[in-house]
Amino acid sequence: MKRIGVLTSGGDAPGMNAAIRSIVRCALHEKLEVVGVLRGYDGLINEEIRTMDHASVSNIINRGGTILKTARSAEFMTREGRKRAMDVIRKNKIDGLVLIGGDGTYRGGIALTEEFEIPCIGVPCTIDNDLNGTEATIGSDTAVNTALEAIDKIRDTATSMERIFVVEVMGRESGFIAMQVAVGGGAEDVLIPERKFDVEEMCHDIVEGNIRGKISWIIIVAEGAAKGEAIARQITDFTSLETRVVVLGHVQRGGSPTAQDRILAARLGAEAVGLLLKGESGKAVGVVSDEINIVDFEFAVRKKILETDKIYNLMKILT
């Protein structure tokens, strides 16, 4: 292995830059050449490739987003697109790839390694924390903290104005961010795709609480469970109490990564380079109980089971 490529793909997440930095500098330390591929798989197809040196990743450890840009590539979903990508890989003498992204990015890696002889290693980087084989994905801790900061501010106005706030958070099909911020932010309830929920029952609780003198509520809704707007309407219709909606949206993707995400990015980036050097392929790196854990791409992309009973019950006790 002489020359490796690195790309970021799918939705951007805080810590992608820290991961790029780790991969580039660990590879250079091992006397490998490194190229950065711009705009994910689209950049491979269109040969948007640039040489990375030590200085090319200076001063990015603290920056959100990705200096390599990211994209969702429809062309790479086709065999013809992947063939074009492979031609570019061969032309540029790339011996192995590190793919930074989420489950879609890993599925791209599966397709590429099944069809062609190119070693690929995945680094989990998505705010959704929905990959198997790792307790945390790079970016998820920052996204939780960003959402929490916003919820703290919403709490100030919720208590002052005596209102119900429904806060919709990101996470695609995963309720991870929602559950974390509900517990961390002291929310009254949380609606996530992993748990059956009964909005009417929640409304009964609100009415009862209101009779007891409770004046404000924060209800977290995961985007994969319901639309915040629809839940707020149901609450107002049922309780006649004023309900406001906040959709946190893309602010959760941005910002400087937390210490946890930077350290995870440093560790997992190093591990990915090490695996390529060992001749491995089709694997994803991760951490379990703070130890490095390596799984096949196929396992990593299987639906992650989020255990929520205990933590949900605790959240309800604490409200």
Count, residues near ligand ATP per rule CB under 6 A: 18
Residue 141 as a binder of ligand ATP (CB under 6 A): the answer is no
Quote the Cα angle for 200-202-207, to 5°: 95
| Minimum distance, C-beta of residue 250 to ligand ATP, in the bound complex (Å) | 12
Measured distance CA(218)–CA(186) in Å, rounded = 8
Collapse the DSSP code of 165 into the 3-class scheme (helix H, G, I; strand E, B; otherwise coil) and give the result: strand
Alpha carbon 8 to chain centroid distance? 12
Known catalytic membership, residue 296: no
Residue 101 as a binder of ligand ATP (CB under 6 A): the answer is yes
What residues from 196 to 225 belong to the interface with ligand ATP (CB under 6 A)? none
| Minimum distance, C-beta of residue 147 to ligand ATP, in the bound complex (Å) | 16
Among 12, 42, 128, 189, the active-site one is 128
What residues from 71 to 90 belong to the interface with ligand ATP (CB under 6 A)? 72-73, 76-77
- Strand runs (DSSP E) across the chain, as ranges? 3-8, 33-37, 49-52, 96-101, 120-124, 164-169, 189-191, 217-222, 243-247, 283-288, 291-296
Residue 129 as a binder of ligand ATP (CB under 6 A): the answer is no
Residue 104 as a binder of ligand ATP (CB under 6 A): the answer is yes
Reading the block at residue 99, the tokens are 């793919």
Residue type, 94: I
Measured distance CA(241)–CA(138) in Å, rounded = 39
Residue 41 as a binder of ligand ATP (CB under 6 A): the answer is yes
- Of the residues 11, 64, 124, 171, which one makes contact with ligand ATP according to CB under 6 A: 11
For β-strands 49-52 and 33-37, DSSP reports them as antiparallel
- Of the residues 66, 68, 103, 148, which one makes contact with ligand ATP according to CB under 6 A: 103
Which CB sits closer to ligand ATP, 16 or 187?
A: 16
- Residues noted as catalytic: 128
- Using CB under 6 A, list all residues that contact ligand ATP: 9-11, 41, 72-73, 76-77, 101-105, 107-108, 111, 126, 128
